[in-house]
Amino acid sequence: MAFTSAVITFPGSNCDRDMAVAVEQVCGGTVHRVWHGDADLPDGLDFIALPGGFSYGDYLRSGAMAARSPVMQAVVRAAERGVAVLGVCNGFQVLTEAGLLPGALMRNAGIRFVCRDVKLTVENAQSLFTAGYTAGQQITIPVAHHDGNYFADDQTLDRIEGEGRVAFRYAEPVNGSARNIAGVLNERGNVLGMMPHPERMIETAQGGTDGRALFESVVRGLVNA
Amino acid sequence: MKVRVIVTLKNGVLDPQGRAIHHALEGLGFGGVNDVRAGRVIELDVADATTDEALDEMCRKLLANMVIENYRIEKAA
């Protein structure tokens, strides 16, 4: 069965093409490009990616408007069916706003936009998205965001840590995120949101390939499922 | 009916913007400012028949993020 995926484009998304290229090159199969106004997703999807960018100009709150767009109702239903969903940067913000992931992404603690390569520690190397890494592995992935300061109350943080739902942690403070959390899984493990951009590290020409294993993990996990 | 929705950060949620405003006020020489919290005001013009429940739902579903924010609804007299 061919791997079938969709990359969603919201008005203001700007990493959707990079994401589609990464999915196409690493995952293979068919990559559908889906517009935010579409109420339905293509049939037979294995994987949905919500790209980075500034959907709806970040009006109201980053990801707030996109989370209420027609296509997101379909993404929520797909996630509930168990389809793998990855949200990167603005995509992570959309997933928290849509209630698929706990917490919220607030303005960076230092107020400034942060755009640089950061070191991440792989905290959970057993998830659908991270099985291609080893626990404790340090990888380098770029970030580019203004609102990446992950917040959740202590009870929620304790719970997601205890359940192994922190996929990635910044190896050093980047944006004020609670407990340096960079990527979070949902309870079922089929939804991952992360601020760093793995799709920007899939070939040596981009300065590194540390992002490839994430996409490879998804394919391997779903094909073996 | 004119309605004003005031969205504020919950207590305990760090407010980087409020802190930056605080620093800027101090930089301008204003002493005695103990704390600054930044929020958002959204003014709505809604049908007179709009119920309080509907307004609450608008706030909970979109205008405020209940993970980090509280809201208050003020109706113009």
Give residue A1's pLDDT band: very low, low, confident or very high (50, 70, 90): low
Q: Closest to A61 (Cβ–Cβ): which among B13, B20, B65?
A: B65
What DSSP line would sit under A50-86, residue for residue? EPPB-GGGG-SSTTHHHHTSHHHHHHHHHHHHT-EEE
Give residue A223's pLDDT band: very low, low, confident or very high (50, 70, 90): confident
B21 CB within 8 Å of a chain A CB: no
C-alpha dihedral (B37, A60, A196, A169), degrees to nearest 10? 40
Could you tell me the residue ranges of all domains in chain B? 2-75
The CATH homologous superfamily for domain B2-75 is Phosphoribosylformylglycinamidine synthase subunit PurS (3.30.1280.10)
A109 CB within 8 Å of a chain B CB: yes
pLDDT by residue (tens digit) across A122-181? 999 999 999 999 999 999 999 999 999 999 999 999 999 999 999 999 999 999 999 999
Query: A4-224 has which fold?
Result: Rossmann fold (3.40.50)
Q: ipTM, 2 decimals?
A: 0.86
Could you tell me the residue ranges of all domains in chain A? 4-224
**In the predicted model, is pLDDT for residue B51 greater than 90?**
yes
In order of A81, A114, A206, A213, A223, the CA distances from A195 in angstroms are 24, 11, 18, 17, 26
Average pLDDT, chain B: 95
Q: Among A60, A113, A175, which would you mutate to test the B interface (most chain B Cβ atoms within 10 Å of its Cβ)?
A: A60
